[in-house]
Structure 1
Amino acid sequence: MAQNSGDKGTGGPEFPGFDPKAVEAYIVKDPHEMAMNFARAMENLGKAASEWLAPRERGDIPDPALDPLSDLIKTLSQVTEYWISEPQRTLQAQTLLFSSYMEIWTRSLSQFGGAPQESEPAALPRDKRFADEDWVKNPFFAFMRQVFTVTATWAETLVAEAQGLDEHTRHKAAFYVKQVTAALSPANFAITNPEVYRATVASHGANLVTGMKMLAEDIMAGGGELRLRQTDASKFALGLNIALTPGKVVARNDLCEVLQYEPTTETVFKRPLVIVPPWINKFYILDLTPQKSFIKWCVDRGHTVFVISWVNPDRRHAAKGWEAYMHEGIDFALDTIETSTGEREVDAIGYCVGGTLLVATLAFHAKTNVKRIASATFLATQVDFTYAGDLKVFVDEAQVSTIETYMNATGYFDGSKMAAAFNMLRASELIWPYVVNNYLKGQEPLPFDLLYWNSDSTRMTPANHAYYLRNCYLDNKLSNGLMELAGERLSLKDIVIPVYNLATSEDHIAPAKSVFLGSSLFGGSVDFVLAGSGHIAGVVNPPERRKYRYWTDGQLKDTLEDWVAGSQEHEGSWWTHWQDWIGPKAGNQVPARKPGGSALTALADAPGTYVLVRD
């Protein structure tokens, strides 16, 4: 339609809210080339489908024992049953939704008619998925966004107000609704995402050709499962530009390597420092780059640092359980440290599930009168799992039994499945933006060391993982004094050494409320500290970056909210606060120690060999 000169760019008289210039970027300029690229994209999509089907047809991928879809349907059907069991409830639910739709329709007609619009409807929450201005200015995309938002809110309301659900089922239903709505966001589809639509028109569909090619490559890389690329992995190599702190592997057994790092100071604290990382991921999250390395930071401040590097297990390790990880992991490291340095007592740090294992080991040591760890630092570590967050969605008797069946058949728990569960906790940040950017926009992800580490998943042994799920998440035995390890019943009150207990405020894996609750269960003094940000960024926060904040000196007898209200707020990183805490406990200064001392021969350079084995 031609635009009259008097319209001044506001549209023709029939449609005063229509501006032709606003839709130029959405008009296909070369239909032939677009059609050819669509055909190429469909060809690449066919290759992706073949990569997905082939291993299943060969039997390389059996029928899935772990099927979250069936649990999703089962859980949400209980919510649906409540709302459709009585006509009045059904009408109430429908009225709530359709009244919102009518408001959106009225607003959209007004917008298309040229009426002045708010820059952002007040009812819409800020959401970076909808950052493009056309989610507000363009009537079509604004309509799609508003319909999605009110539908998602409506679904969450139905879960919240459904009666007769037990707490676990309601938690699962709320989680699954968020997963479904995150997946169905209009931002995830080419036709309903203005950025993707414009990119498709501008490139005549070449973005989809590239994107479907990447999809096929990622399914091939996953052996028939989608291995979503979040970073350019080709830009990283352990020991070359990541995990660079100099050191040696000074001991090795079937379950772990023990690394000792080269000193950078002439003298060091008398008491060595051992770090127990989680086996769910690899230890080098604490040694990403020299600028971000907690390990290097500790070495530079005079600590003799040892780190356990867990093996990436396979079928041979199937029977290795928590007792093995305690004796062949932590105790083996303690023996190695004593041989290397002559010191029997150490200060210990445990991160995430590595911290939970360290707590159990400390309780076992106390029960058996072993005194080898003089202080303990726990980083984002849970010992009570009452408030363990959304990961509890995946843990009930039926799901744990299914996982055990799967692990017993395969000989291990596939690390990619655990990585997928972690990504689902933040799907709107860790899954769908990469689906859009990679497969719809056809953009290669940028190199990012943290996401490279995140994608470097590890397997887990059946004995270890089943013990952890049942004793911690399912039955919460550790905090209740019911966990048995190596024939001993463990009590956290037996742990009387000084404890530094760090939680992070936005943690989705070890929620701060959960970590805080555990602080009251130890028998000795506990310094609880709350750091800003989440499970990784809140821990890996070098002081030089001057990011985030941390809080100290609240009252442990209070709730977390009360503790925060009575705490002291500090700028920057908790690292310096921890150093002030650990320094006086670590003993006098002694001459710096070389890795292995005079008793042990180096087996390999850091970061070692076990860490190189990929899932």
Structure 2
Amino acid sequence: MAKQAGRASRSPQTTTPSNQRPLAPTEADQQASTAPSSAEQVDPFRQWSQRHHAALAKFTAGLSPASIFQAYADWWAHLLLSPGKQAHLAFDAQQHLRRFTEYLPQAMASHECEPCIAPPAQDDRFDEPEWQQWPFNVIHQGFLLNQQWWDTATRDMPGMSRHHEDVVNFISRQLLDMASPANSVWTNPVVLKRTQERAGRNLIDGFLHAQEDIERFVERRPPAGAERFTPGETVAVTPGQVVYRNQLMELIQYTPTTEKVKAEPLLIVPAWIMKYYILDLSPENSLVRWLVDQGYTVFMISWKNPGPEERNMGIEDYRQTGIMEALEAVNAIVPEQKVHAVGYCLGGTLLSITAAVMARNEDDRLASLSLFASLTDFEEAGELELFIDESQVHFLEDAMREQGYLEDWQMKGAFQLLQSNDLVWSRIVREYLLGERMGTFDLMAWSTDGTRMPYKMHSQYLRRLYLDNALAQGRYKADGQPVLLGDIRLPSFLVATRKDHIAPWRSVYRNQLLLGGDITFTLTSGGHNAGVVSEPGHKRRVYQIADKPADAAYVDADTWHAQVPERQGSWWPEWHRWLLEHTSGESEPPTMGNPDKGYEPLEEAPGHYVLER
């Protein structure tokens, strides 16, 4: 590497070992966890506002109208006080009108004339040749000119806060996307041609598709086609056993496929915003299956889909009841061996906190740390920051407070808005106007299988990590003491993806400023999910990789990107080679669970929690 420059069911365990928490809280615990605080009980006016916000959030997908109003008020006030900006926009409008009027007679005469404006590189809505014919060439060119003007109007406003500027620009783009001529039967030539060819049958099919999708949403059923990818049947089928279960997670131990295994096991901590089987999809692209076939003993945490009884479980509960109890189980099943810890997305953030606490406590049970698309510095956390400010977090807290959790569809709505052209409008055009059902594949089906977020945990996550950026600044506390990521001296393998809008790669790269040990950083093609699910043999995959020793000078992300050569293929074999460098040898495969220590296999993988909706 370049240097730096049909599952069988088993009855659940009926007794609780001393090192295992009960599967569910007592009735008294549940009542205590869902009871409002004393301050809320004596303040009916505050309760009134909270319930109003909770009801309103059901119609706004959790977005705070006050937050949006603040952003637009900031923009409008600064625009009124900026005559230079007003003059700039007036000049731009005049120039756009001139370009359009010069283009109009040419467009009427010939559909092969030069366009007056090209769409953005990522915009493929007007690529079909039908858009170059009259009058659709004029319609879409006028829309693009208008879109460009509004982008200028909502950018570089003197004195306006950067966050409000981003929100206004984003919301304006969403409104413009709604009004795109591509989304209308009468202004989309491709739809009109299809309607003529099929005598309107495409619109009838589209209406039936929309009706089915609405029914599935109301009944909380998976989207059309997703039922073909059921965990334990077609996805998440790597053989294994659930060897431990508590109120928050199940621990899966996978069955070895080699005569010898690496001495140190792997413990994988996925995010709990979605199901764990992103890392165990179909057999041909399952990271878990691939690791097992390379001779690793793999353990996976499968998080519970929380309900009202988990409302008061916070980040510390996820650390202790989740990772630490899983680590205890792994140590009991594979004794006297350190553990390669692996975290994905939010699971990687939690794993970083855990590793820092363990380092502070001189707990040396970890052999290495691998983080996939995980943030520890939230200063520049990507487009998700658009939905996070004091007003928005307060609104979400009120939305979660009454029921004890945030609905998964509210989180998915925010993610879809970030890529509305690809995830919303293109789907509407294809399925409802053209009448074609989009094919569903395993990764797409997985993305619809979300989980809820506990009230306390999600509130802490948004406030302490996003708003305060407390972890990166050494102000986040665990066990009453500050968590310092620099205490982590483990060798670390970091993976970022180029098109990640959830954990931008430059922000993932900043982990090198915080972690204390030797670091290998890998940047791969693809997005937040597809870049990680990048099995060997996957077409058109490329990556860059380089080492940074602990005592090496820091190089900024753009310089690193320019200097490190690009390689073809999957990054998985690179990670395998890196793990081998930190592995002490091979041994006989461990038993499945350890009944003598209270870790008896409970049921076959993928277990029970992954099936909860």
Structure 1 segments unaligned to the other structure (5+ residues): 1-58
1:604 corresponds in structure 2 to 603
| Cα contact 1:83–1:93 (8 A) shared by 2 | no
TM-aligned CA deviation for residue 545 of structure 1 = 1.9
Task: Please state whether the residue corresponding to 1:139 is helix, strand or coil.
Answer: coil
Separation in 2 of the partners of 1:206 and 1:508? Answer: 38
Task: Please state whether the residue corresponding to 1:376 is helix, strand or coil.
Answer: strand
- Alpha-carbon deviations, 1:346-386, whole Å to 9, x = none? 10100000000000111111222222212100001100011
TM-aligned CA deviation for residue 335 of structure 1 = 1.2
Q: 1:408 aligns with which of 390, 401, 406?
A: 401
| Cα contact 1:528–1:552 (8 A) shared by 2 | yes
1:580 corresponds in structure 2 to 577
- Alpha-carbon deviations, 1:80-135, whole Å to 9, x = none? 343345677545424422431342233232221348523x5563444321121111
Q: 1:112 aligns with which of 92, 108, 116?
A: 108
Task: Please state whether the residue corresponding to 1:593 is helix, strand or coil.
Answer: coil
Structure 2 segments unaligned to the other structure (5+ residues): 1-51
| Cα contact 2:67–2:391 (8 A) shared by 1 | no
AA paired with 1:83? Answer: L
1:564 corresponds in structure 2 to 561
- Alpha-carbon deviations, 1:526-560, whole Å to 9, x = none? 11121122111111101122532111226661210
1:482 corresponds in structure 2 to 475
Q: 1:216 aligns with which of 202, 211, 217?
A: 211
Separation in 2 of the partners of 1:201 and 1:211? Answer: 15
2:40 corresponds in structure 1 to none
Deviates more, 1:355-364 or 1:529-538: 529-538
| Cα contact 1:337–1:344 (8 A) shared by 2 | no
AA paired with 2:343? Answer: G
TM-aligned CA deviation for residue 202 of structure 1 = 2.6
2:391 corresponds in structure 1 to 398
Larger of the two Rg values belongs to structure: 1
TM-score, normalising length: structure 2: 0.86
AA paired with 2:175? Answer: V
1:239 matched to 2:235? The reply is: no
Separation in 1 of the partners of 2:282 and 2:456? Answer: 34
Q: Per the alignment, do residues 224 and 170 of structure 1 end up closer, same or farther by CA in structure 2, a change over 3 Å counting?
A: farther
1:180 matched to 2:179? The reply is: no
Q: Per the alignment, do residues 244 and 441 of structure 1 end up closer, same or farther by CA in structure 2, a change over 3 Å counting?
A: same
Deviates more, 1:276-285 or 1:593-602: 593-602
Counterparts in 2 of 1:373-452, with a 5 A limit?
Answer: 373-452=366-445
Q: Per the alignment, do residues 228 and 430 of structure 1 end up closer, same or farther by CA in structure 2, a change over 3 Å counting?
A: farther
| Cα contact 1:269–1:304 (8 A) shared by 2 | yes
- Alpha-carbon deviations, 1:43-99, whole Å to 9, x = none? xxxxxxxxxxxxxxxx9x933363455543442343234334567754542442243
1:335 matched to 2:331? The reply is: no
| Cα contact 1:340–1:598 (8 A) shared by 2 | no
Q: 2:97 aligns with which of 91, 96, 101?
A: 101
Separation in 1 of the partners of 2:316 and 2:82? Answer: 53
Greater RCO, 1 or 2 (C-alpha within 8 Å, sep 6+): 2
1:32 corresponds in structure 2 to none
TM-score, normalising length: structure 1: 0.85
AA paired with 2:607? Answer: G
2:151 corresponds in structure 1 to 156
| Cα contact 2:536–2:570 (8 A) shared by 1 | yes
1:131 corresponds in structure 2 to 127
Task: Please state whether the residue corresponding to 2:278 is helix, strand or coil.
Answer: helix
| Cα contact 1:554–1:563 (8 A) shared by 2 | no
Q: Per the alignment, do residues 460 and 124 of structure 1 end up closer, same or farther by CA in structure 2, a change over 3 Å counting?
A: closer
Query: What percent of counterpart residues are identical?
Result: 35
Task: Please state whether the residue corresponding to 1:438 is helix, strand or coil.
Answer: helix
Task: Please state whether the residue corresponding to 2:194 is helix, strand or coil.
Answer: helix
| Cα contact 1:218–1:228 (8 A) shared by 2 | no
1:317 matched to 2:310? The reply is: yes
Task: Please state whether the residue corresponding to 2:155 is helix, strand or coil.
Answer: helix
Q: Per the alignment, do residues 87 and 520 of structure 1 end up closer, same or farther by CA in structure 2, a change over 3 Å counting?
A: closer
Task: Please state whether the residue corresponding to 1:275 is helix, strand or coil.
Answer: strand
1:271 matched to 2:264? The reply is: yes
Separation in 2 of the partners of 1:336 and 1:558? Answer: 39
Deviates more, 1:471-480 or 1:195-204: 195-204
| Cα contact 1:530–1:551 (8 A) shared by 2 | yes
Counterparts in 2 of 1:34-45, with a 5 A limit?
Answer: none
| Cα contact 1:378–1:501 (8 A) shared by 2 | yes
AA paired with 2:285? Answer: K
Deviates more, 1:107-116 or 1:501-510: 107-116
Separation in 1 of the partners of 2:69 and 2:94? Answer: 24
- Alpha-carbon deviations, 1:209-235, whole Å to 9, x = none? 33233323323322299x994x62132
1:206 matched to 2:201? The reply is: yes
1:195 corresponds in structure 2 to 190
